[in-house]
Amino acid sequence: MRCNPWECTSSAPRLLLPAHRLPRTHSTALAASGGKLPARPVGIGSAAPSTLITNFDLESVHDTSDEWIRTRTGIRERRVLVHEGTRGVVAAAEDGGRVDTEVPESLRTLGVEAAQRALEMSGVDPSEIDLVVCATSSPDDLFGDAPSIAHAVGCDAAKCAAFDLTAACSGFLFGLVTAGQFLGNGETNKALVVGADALTRWVDWEDRNSCILFGDGAGAVVLTSDGGGGEDEGDGCGILGYAMHSNGGGYNDLKCIYRGEPKKISTPGEGTVVHDGSYDLMTMNGRKVYSFATREVPDVLEEALDRAGLTVDDVDHLLLHQANIRIMEVVAERLGVPMEKVITNLYKYGNTSAASIPLALDEAVRSGRVKPGDVIACAGFGAGLSWGAAILRWG
């Protein structure tokens, strides 16, 4: 008998909620929330690897089936980085211009491609970008991919700061709020937020219950500080309210731990044993993560809606981290949101971690489903444990 892969294994004023809505408190829990941030989304883009693995493909790897995976997770296929072949990109030339070139397909090149598409939609010149945040837990470069992504898309190194942010599957949402804080300081006018992950690098492909869940991808959004700041400024598009939480008490439920290989170097005396660095494969307690997500995500969405001065009835679209269709169904039901309002492309990509929200939003915007002025309630959740929500008005 097969098991369900999920069920078996601020500086802002503190929000005062009614007693029945008070957030759960834990000795290890941290939280930050706030209202409007001047962060108008003006462009979005995404990219996925060229290699496709379907559920039918996995039938030859494990004792599983398309029907079993699809009915329990909502996933039909996923894209996987295999680091073979090349991918066409537009890169910065030595003379300061732009040049078409072929590069090995990697997480960084996916991030570059997603960023370029977002910039193209926005009409913002890359030289105008003041800040680049790359949300990822699986960078190509341990020291961070954001600076090289910023350089590749043509940002001006003399004025643009770039850094990585790690918050696992909550990463893009946390990056969005972080960029919004910079845009509100009066010095930063335009920001690029990238969410990119390749967790198939760290999944245990011998574990039937976890390897079916994950895929790789990247998404990006361009934010500007105009039009969304004060109560009467502009058309009110941007981040209307947000809430972010973490609880290290759940650290062991979803993790990818450092594993060093001992290496002795010949220092004086008996020598010194140091480490050659590496990481273990990802481990997940599916039952606990499922319970955590279905418990906390409805609460954090309502908290963010409170900070935005809105209710569930004001929401045009519900966009959750694309982890499992059953989580989406439970969260939507507990909020009283019909599934017709839920944006999902999980069936095509699987769980792409920090990339999942912008990847799904990109498709919804380009298809015309999300229109200027629409209110989107977004929520991310994952390792840490971390979870958060942001209410966006697209425009």
Active-site residues, by number, are: 169, 321, 351
Q: And the tokens for 166?
A: 């790690």
User: In the 3-class helix/strand/coil scheme, how is 104-172 assigned residue by residue?
Assistant: ECCHHHHHHHHHHHHHHHHCCCHHHCCEEEEECCCCCCCCCCHHHHHHHHCCCCCCCEEEEECCHHHHH
C-alpha 147, offset from chain centre: 18
Look at strands 317-320 and 375-382 and give their pairing.
parallel
Q: Which amino acid would we find at residue 393?
A: R
Please state, in angstroms and rounded to a whole number, the distance separating the CA atoms of residues 345 and 343.
7
Q: And the tokens for 56?
A: 């039918």
Close Cβ partners of 328 (under 8 Å, ≥ 6 residues apart): 74, 320, 339, 342, 344, 346
Query: If we measure between CA atoms, which residue out of 244, 304, 331, 386 comes closest to residue 17?
Result: 304
DSSP per position, 266-307: --STT-EEEEE--BPPPEE-HHHHHHHHHHHHHHHHHHHHHH
DSSP bridge pairs for 191 = 131, 223
Q: And the tokens for 239?
A: 């981040």
Give, in order, the Cα–Cα distances in Å from 246 to each of 29, 34, 103, 384, 385. Answer: 6, 16, 37, 6, 6
The structure tokens 């078996």 sit at: 8
